[in-house]
């Protein structure tokens, strides 16, 4: 790995573990095993490096979610697959957690990839709910965009529950509740 | 206000704005207008002061939620009142946001009041769902504890959506989706 790559990967890890506010340039250099000057050689500074790291994490998250959301199955099954796919629940969401970071939220540049990723996710889910309505799997009264927001919120809030208790089962409980409410009428 | 009170109130504000990792003893003293030695005079240190601050915030959150959850209305109306009650959405949840703080999650002592508060909230909500089932407002297939987790997760994740976009409407969308799914059958 090049130094620039090592810096980006170390920043991604630290942002996930400690957030932006909790990640010092010194900690990044130490983890990357890089010298003092190398950050400023490759990047304009911590915000610039963080932006590269966040963008890469966002791309990965999107690719992973797309595989499930646009995979096989009925609309309900694809939403179920998204909600129950394997996650490192106790680590939280590497993108969503950044919204609790005051310096990320205060920076339009750093917030942008976070906002775009969650928006993209909601659009995909809203499309799937609409598909399910057309197929009669979901009731016509359901609001696709609102349900999509609920699905993403349940995942993001599920991380909060699990990290509070230290148990992934609390993430699963929120997902189970939502799936029970979403269950196709024909299956009840 | 006594110095001890000012220290607690300043810490509560800073924890909400910047989290535990992002809050230095220096920033607390500055905001409290207190001298260098006063923190160690009244508290054992930052963790001890943070614990007092988190406990007080947790108490307030509980009292506010109890007013709505145990207020007037049918079970559905009380859940609706909880989901739609006035919130400073863009500030996030002062308790939930602490779960994204690595030093809070790593400390059993600091995590305890966070976990207890979310647990208490889920118990109240689960009881209300069970009440609604007995009254025939909710279907017998609903799992009260799971629905309670979904309700709390939707609120916590709603903050994530709103802070990502900078718009409280994104919190409201998640809540609207969940209320649509929970709507009593007789009302459909």
The pLDDT of residue B161 is 98
The pLDDT of residue A184 is 83
Q: Kindly tell me the burial class for residue A120, based on how many C-beta atoms sit within 10 Å of its own C-beta (0-12, 13-18, 19 or more).
A: middle
pLDDT at A188 over 50: no
For residues A38-44, give the mean pLDDT: 94
| B contacts of A87 (beta carbons < 8 Å) | none
Task: Return the higher-pLDDT residue of A186 and B16.
Answer: B16
pLDDT at B184 over 90: no
Shortest Cα distance, chain A CAs vs residue B43, angstroms: 24
The CA distance from B50 to B55, in Å, is: 8
| A contacts of B152 (beta carbons < 8 Å) | 157, 161, 174
The pLDDT of residue A186 is 52
The CA distance from B34 to B98, in Å, is: 25
- Write the pLDDT tens digit of every residue in B94-136: 999 999 999 999 999 999 999 999 999 999 999 999 999 999 9
Q: SS3 letters for A106-140? A: CCHHHHHHHHHHHHHHHHHHHHHHHHHHHCCCCCC
Cβ atoms of B45 and A46 within 8 Å: the answer is no
Pick the CATH number of A51-187 from 1.10.357.10, 3.40.50.620, 3.30.300.30, 3.10.310.10: 1.10.357.10
The CA distance from B54 to B104, in Å, is: 10
The CA distance from A72 to A75, in Å, is: 9
The pLDDT of residue B186 is 52
Nearest neighbour of B153 by CB, restricted to A17, A157, A165: A157
The CA distance from B160 to A58, in Å, is: 15
Q: What percent of chain A has pLDDT over 70?
A: 98
DSSP H stretches of helix in chain B: 3-18, 25-32, 38-42, 46-69, 75-84, 102-105, 108-134, 144-165, 169-182
The pLDDT of residue B187 is 45
pLDDT at B188 over 50: no
- Assigned fold of B53-187: Tetracycline Repressor; domain 2 (1.10.357)
Mean pLDDT of chain B: 96
- Write the pLDDT tens digit of every residue in A124-142: 999 999 999 999 999 999 9
The pLDDT of residue B46 is 96
The CA distance from B111 to A161, in Å, is: 12
Cβ atoms of A94 and A16 within 8 Å: the answer is yes
Q: Which of residues 82-121 of A touch B (CB under 8 A)?
A: 92, 96-97, 99-102, 105, 111, 114-115, 118-119
Contacts of B155 (CB under 8 A, 6+ apart): A153, A157, B83, B93, B96, B175
């Amino acid at each position: 790995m090049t130094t620039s790559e090592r810096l980006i990967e170390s920043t991604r890890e630290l942002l996930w573990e400690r957030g932006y506010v909790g990640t010092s340039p010194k900690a990044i250099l130490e983890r990357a095993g890089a010298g003092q000057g190398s950050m400023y050689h490759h990047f304009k500074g911590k915000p610039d490096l963080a932006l590269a790291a966040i963008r890469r994490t966002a791309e990965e998250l999107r690719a992973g979610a797309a595989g499930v959301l646009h995979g096989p199955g009925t609309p309900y099954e694809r939403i179920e697959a998204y909600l129950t796919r394997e996650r490192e629940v106790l680590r939280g969401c590497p993108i969503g957690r950044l919204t609790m970071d005051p310096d990320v939220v205060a920076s339009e540049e750093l917030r942008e990839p976070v906002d775009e990723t969650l928006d993209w996710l909601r659009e995909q889910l809203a499309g799937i709910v609409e598909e399910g309505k057309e197929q009669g799997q979901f009731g016509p009264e359901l609001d696709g965009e609102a349900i999509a927001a609920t699905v993403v919120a349940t995942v993001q809030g599920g991380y909060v529950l699990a990290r509070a208790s230290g148990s992934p089962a609390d993430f699963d409980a929120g997902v189970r509740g939502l799936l029970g409410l979403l269950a196709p009428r024909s299956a009840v």
